[in-house]
Amino acid sequence: MLARLVPAPMVRWFARPYVAGDSLDKALDVASGLWRDRGILSTLDILGEEVKEKARVDKNVGLYAAAIDALSRDARFSEAAARPSVSLKPSAFTAGGQEEARAPIAQLAAHARDRGVALTVDMEDRRWTDFTIDLAVGLFEKGHDVGTVLQTRLNRTEKDLARIPPGMRLRLVIGIYPEPLDVATTDKWAMKERMVSFARRLLERKVFVEFATHDEATVTRFVREVAPADPDRCEVQMLLGVPRTDLLGRVRKGALGPALPVRLYVPFADGWDDATAYLRRRMAESPSMAWLVLRNLFGR
C-alpha cells in the first residue's frame, strides 16, 4: 500500500541498489564486475512487464534478443561458465491472453540456444503457474537450455515438483505475489521448510536446484543438509542489492558445506519508466524501507 504513495523519483532513488542501470551496457558492466571481482554469476532481467500493446511485446523481444547477442559476443564472458543467463516474465510477451506469449518466448529460447545463453522463465502469480510450467518444460524437452521457477507458498507446488524433468534447472523461491488462503500458505516458516524439503526431492530426481532466498538460516540448511547429496546440481541465488555479500562469499568458498556457485538476479531497465512496477514490488516487500523514504519525504 505504502509503496504506491511514493512518487516515481523517490522510487528510483530507493531502488538504485536493486537495479543495474537504465541500459544493457550498464547491466553488462555490473555482471562483468560481479564475476571478475567476486566470482558471482548473474542472470539479467529486463524490466518491462507492464505490457498493454503488441508494439511493446515486439520491443521486449528485440531487447531480449539484443541482450542475448551481446552476452554471446562479450569477451568478458567468453568462458561459458561465466556467461550470465537471462530471465524473463511471460506477461512481458503478451498484450492479450497467455497463449500469445508462447511464440515470442519460444523464438527467444531458440535464439538463446543458438548463442549459448541459458534462459529462465520467471514465475508470476498463480494464474500463470500452469502456462509457465508447460511452456518451460516443453522448451527444455525440445533441447533448449530453459529453466523455470516454483513458489513454495503455493500448496499446489508439492505436486508440481513431479512435472520438472531430470536435468532441467528449477529455481525454488517462496514467491513474491500475495495469494489467497485457499491456495497458499502465509506462514513464512512453512514456506522456508518447504524450500528445504522440495530442494531435497528435486535433487533426488536429478533436477538442477537454484535455491533463491536471502534467509541466512535457510541458505545454511540447504548448503549443509541438502547440497552434499549432489553439489554439482546446486546453486544459490539472490537479488542484486540485498546486502548478503558475506553470505554469498561463504557459500561460494565452501565455508558452510560444499562450495556452490552463487548467482545474482540483475534487473536493468531500458529507460527508467519501465522499472517502476518492479521497484514498487520490491518496496512493498520491505515496508520498513518504504517508511524510511516516506519519512524523508514528509517528516520534519
Ligand X SMILES: Cc1cc2nc3c(=O)[nH]c(=O)nc-3n(C[C@H](O)[C@H](O)[C@H](O)COP(=O)(O)OP(=O)(O)OC[C@H]3O[C@@H](n4cnc5c(N)ncnc54)[C@H](O)[C@@H]3O)c2cc1C
Q: Which stretch binds ligand X (CB under 6 A): 111-119, 137-145, 171-179, 247-255?
A: 171-179
Q: Which stretch binds ligand X (CB under 6 A): 60-68, 108-116, 135-143, 234-242?
A: 234-242
Residue 87 phi/psi, 5-degree rounding, is: -120, 140
For ligand X, give the closer residue by CB, 48 or 175.
175
Q: Which stretch binds ligand X (CB under 6 A): 110-118, 158-166, 175-183, 266-274?
A: 175-183
For ligand X, give the closer residue by CB, 45 or 270.
45
170 with 150: CB under 8 angstroms?
yes
Q: How far is CA 289 from each of CA 2, 3, 123, 138, 220, rounded to the nearest angstrom?
A: 10, 9, 25, 40, 26
Residue 202's identity, in one-letter code, is L
**Total chain residues near ligand X (CB under 6 A):** 23
Give the one residue of 40, 63, 101, 149 binding ligand X; rule: CB under 6 A: 149
Q: Which of residues 189-228 bind ligand X (CB under 6 A)?
A: 212-215
Q: Is the dihedral of CA 74, 213, 285, 183 positive or negative?
A: positive
Q: Would you give the binding string for ligand X spanning residues 235-254, x where CB under 6 A is met?
A: --xxx--x------------
For residues 16 and 289, give the distance between their C-alpha atoms in angstroms, rounded to a whole number.
13
Give min distance, CB of 97 to ligand X, in A.
Answer: 21
For ligand X, give the closer residue by CB, 69 or 98.
98
Helices 8-15/276-285 angle, 10° precision: 70
Give min distance, CB of 9 to ligand X, in A.
Answer: 20
* By the rule CB under 6 A, 266 interacts with ligand X: no
Mind telling me the catalytic residues? Answer: 122, 171
Give the one residue of 151, 157, 184, 293 binding ligand X; rule: CB under 6 A: 151
Residue with cell 541498489: 17
Q: Which of residues 273-292 bind ligand X (CB under 6 A)?
A: 282, 285-286
> Which are the contacts of 19, defined by CB distance < 8 A and separation ≥ 6?
47, 240, 241, 267, 268, 269, 275, 278, 279
Give min distance, CB of 293 to ligand X, in A.
Answer: 13
Closest CA to 164 of 192, 195, 198: 198
DSSP 14-30: HHGGG---SSHHHHHHH
Q: In the complex, which residues of this chain contact ligand X (CB under 6 A)?
A: 122-123, 149, 151, 171, 173-177, 188, 212-215, 237-239, 242, 265, 282, 285-286
